[in-house]
Structure 1
Amino acid sequence: MPLMSTLSPQQHPSVAVVIPAFNEEDTVGEVVRVARELTRDVVVASDGSSDATARVAREAGANVVELSENVGKGPALKAALEAAQGEYVVMLDADLLGLTRGHLECLLRPVMTGNLDMAIGVFEGGSFASDWGNKLTPHLSGQRACRRDWLLAVPRLGFERWPEPPITDHLRETGARWDYVELGQVRQVLKEKKRGFWRGVQSRTKMYADLLTYQRRKRKRG
């Protein structure tokens, strides 16, 4: 079934799209081009990328913030948010395939109408591996929409390597209204494909190890 939009077909000056990216030269350009169909306020934070991520994103029309070293998705997201202007924000991963403007509108619609404080995108029908991983841990999805000031207020957003756990905490602690939104036919390029099997496995293992130790680090901080 095609995605139906209740939003204006014009670009939305009140909306920004922020895209943290680390070595995503093969996919970031198309993600930016889709985002530019929705708004001119598209910001890519290149997280110490050693490839052409920053150049490709800039050529596709994004405002690019270049971090001098790889410090993690959390600090990159914070930098992109600070460079954006929109009242509402869509957060996207840079390695998406099959993304359309309709998907962005599906994320935004319940937030802009006031029904939700945050919409979280989950994949449906893009690929088995991508769908399975996303549905196994939907709270770790990088596809979200909310108010920009709410996201900037998340404690330690710019200090945690992965921003999803502190965002989840803030949703719970503030009593925010949130729900999942299906993103049909969207998928991600798996780390094992981007970086080679063993480097991809190593990267994924480090990611989950960091995510799983978040609460322990939080307790140590008191």
Structure 2
Amino acid sequence: MTGVIWAAVLLAAGTPAPAAVPDGSRLVAGEQCFAIEREGQRIGDATQSVVAQELDGQLVWRIVIHQTLRNGRFSLRDEFVVARDSLRPLMLTSVRGNDPASPGWQRIELRYSPEGVTGTRTTAQSSAPIAVAHDGPVWDGNLWGLTFAALPLAAGAEFSLPNWQYDKGPGTFTVRVVGEAIIETPAGPVAAWALDAGTDPAQLVRYHIAKGAGIELGYAGGGMAQRLATDCPAR
């Protein structure tokens, strides 16, 4: 899911693999529902949709991830448009909160180019431009699980991928394949790669990605988890 960092136990790193660019063809179009849990208790919902589209002659994925807590105190909706071959970001619209008059409400609109990123940050109080130059390719720092799912995962593989996030600036995704697992899902058990991944090598999150297809099956760490479910409310 999106980049919410929850502490996880850092396991031994695997053997480094050659540098690799995400392969967007590994992803699978469709919709998923996740239960957000704290210490085993469901506290919210997350929906994820992946849709194949064409934009100005380019093949893209339009990815929408919406996380909400059931107490109504948190909502984050990210809509990404990324190149379908490499997952390089093209556009992002990120909205936090439900009420534009609320002090915590925020809307981020970004457009990526080979030279950098431009856009606006709008809050209840003001609107400000965003303009940042890049000296090389970056991936969107808000798109976690599906970015990891598009990597050539294999036993012992390790990857580093540059990213940029509108609040934190430049960073690096660290992804380490630490094992295999059978994950119980609403559709039955699925063979998965187990990854430790995130932006802080000392606080990585345990992700599970289906083998043979770039399908995110959930993640856990620090008492928090997201697990596949079937009963997310309609959005």
* TM bucket, shorter chain: under 0.3
**Larger Cα-atom Rg:** 2
> Which structure is higher in strand share?
2
